[in-house]
Amino acid sequence: MEMKRDSLSHWIPVAAVPGDILTITFILDSGNGAESSILQYSRYYHYDFTPFGLETGVDPGYELIMEEVYPEGETEESITYVVPELDDEGFEFFPGDVINISFWTENTNGSVGYNDFNIQFE
């Protein structure tokens, strides 16, 4: 499935059920003159956005899945995410519940980027 944007350029939520396997492919560009970029990839249960500064183990439902440094230039990456059956507290997801997947980047020039999308349970 290819993700699409609405007329305001927001990502349209991805419909899913527990056990679905999503492959997220993206291109990370470090930016003009930057030596490298750091990518943080996270998930946040039951919310449709992820505020900056959440911490794994402190903020319920939030988990930093990956943090990786990428070299100068463009890098294509694919990440696999399995839609879970239960949240962190052991509760099932119900139709309409969401998981926010977010990507934060920062390059060596200090530029910061953010992009996210929602998985919505059917």
Domain span at residue 24?
Answer: 16-121
Pairing between β-strand 36-45 and β-strand 112-121 as defined by DSSP bridges: unpaired
Q: What are phi and psi of 19, to 5 degrees?
A: 95, -15
Q: How far apart are CA 85 and CA 97, in angstroms?
A: 12
CATH number at residue 22: 2.60.40.10
Does a structural domain hold residue 115? yes
25-82 pLDDT tens trace: 888 999 999 999 999 999 999 999 899 889 999 999 999 999 999 999 999 999 999 9
Residue 1 scores a pLDDT above 70: no
Does a structural domain hold residue 106? yes
Tell me the sheet residues that pair with 29.
74
- Is the model more confident about 9 or about 15? 15
Tokens of 34: 């930057």
Does a structural domain hold residue 43? yes
Does a structural domain hold residue 77? yes
Query: CB-hemisphere CA count at 13 Å for 4?
Result: 4
Does a structural domain hold residue 52? yes
Does a structural domain hold residue 97? yes
Residue 8 scores a pLDDT above 80: no
Say what the pLDDT of residue 2 is: 72
Single-letter amino acid code for the residue at 31: G
Share of the chain above pLDDT 90, in %: 77
The tally of domains found in the chain comes to 1
Say what the pLDDT of residue 92 is: 96
Does a structural domain hold residue 6? no
Say what the pLDDT of residue 44 is: 96
Residue 9 scores a pLDDT above 90: no
Does a structural domain hold residue 4? no
Q: How far apart are CA 75 and CA 39, in angstroms?
A: 11
Tell me the sheet residues that pair with 81.
22
